[in-house]
Amino acid sequence: MTTINSRTNNTWKVSRPKCLGALVCDNPGCQWAGSPPTGKDGMDKFLSSCRGEMQCPGLAEKCNGTVSHLQCKGTACRIDYNETTKWGLLRHKGTHMHPWPEAKNPDKISMGKLGVEVKKNPKAGAFELKLGKPTDPTAPFNSVTSIHPLLQNKDWLAYYRQKLLVEMNLVPGKNGGGVGDKFILDMFGWAAQGLYVISSWFMPNRKHFTLQTL
């Protein structure tokens, strides 16, 4: 949770991030630690929704421990950022007496590692990336599930894969349509501008399109 305000004619932006601690498990054999809910009354709403008890998702969701909120006390952080010179000053005090919570979304380092694997095999889908199975035998790579826990979810992995492919200019369009879909997407674009495909012919070594404006 962060409080931000401006000083001296908006030259300085002052941020005060507040550590919310971590969600921890009471099972001594489990090392899971989660990020607490943010936002106004986020923790109160979370505790009321689970009635004060939440089963731990650690140990591959087989942990029988109970999750509780370990608050962070006695710490403070302030960041003064100069909008003109683009430099800042960070001040911190106290010790965080809790485990580092697991990030909900992949951070920049994790996305960088995922990008390396995606670039090696851009045609590999989410399933191949999870298995670590290359589509090109000359460019082997490892399973990406060890990079970040969220990447174990195929749908989220597919989302971040498409996002990276767009950033690498390996797929057309902002929404990351597949490379093989480019011509079809172009045809949709032509139709939107009034140029329609009124007939087509697909035979070996003979392909024909007739386009007409309506």
In this predicted model, what pLDDT tens digit does every residue of 143-173 receive, in sequence order?
Answer: 888 888 888 888 888 888 888 888 887 765 5
Based on the fold, state whether residues 36 and 80 are members of the same structural domain.
yes
Based on the fold, state whether residues 8 and 86 are members of the same structural domain.
yes
Counting the structural domains of the chain, the total is 3
Where does a domain end: 40, 67, 93? 93
Pick the more confident residue, 210 or 4. Answer: 210
Cross-strand pairs, 212:
196
Percent of the chain with pLDDT over 90: 21
**pLDDT (mean) for 104-122:** 87
CA distance 21 to 42: 13
Asked if residue 123 belongs to a domain, the reply is yes
Mean pLDDT of the chain: 80
Cross-strand pairs, 115:
none
**pLDDT value at position 16?**
92
Based on the fold, state whether residues 89 and 114 are members of the same structural domain.
no
Asked if residue 65 belongs to a domain, the reply is yes
Enclosing domain of residue 206: 181-213
CA distance 18 to 163: 30
Asked if residue 98 belongs to a domain, the reply is no
DSSP string, 108-165: HHHHHHHHHHHHH-TT--HHHHHHT--SSTTS----GGGT-GGGGSHHHHHHHHHHHH
**pLDDT value at position 93?**
96
Is there a contact between 154 and 124 (Cβ–Cβ < 8 Å)?
no
Pick the more confident residue, 97 or 123. Answer: 97
Pick the more confident residue, 178 or 84. Answer: 84
Asked if residue 103 belongs to a domain, the reply is no
Asked if residue 101 belongs to a domain, the reply is no
Q: pLDDT band for position 176 (50/70/90)?
A: very low
**pLDDT value at position 186?**
67
pTM: 0.53
Hey, is 71 helix, strand or coil? coil
Based on the fold, state whether residues 121 and 170 are members of the same structural domain.
yes
Q: Which tokens belong to 213?
A: 């404006």
Q: pLDDT band for position 185 (50/70/90)?
A: low
Based on the fold, state whether residues 142 and 185 are members of the same structural domain.
no
Asked if residue 102 belongs to a domain, the reply is no
| Closest of 122, 117, 113, 148 to residue 132, by C-alpha | 117
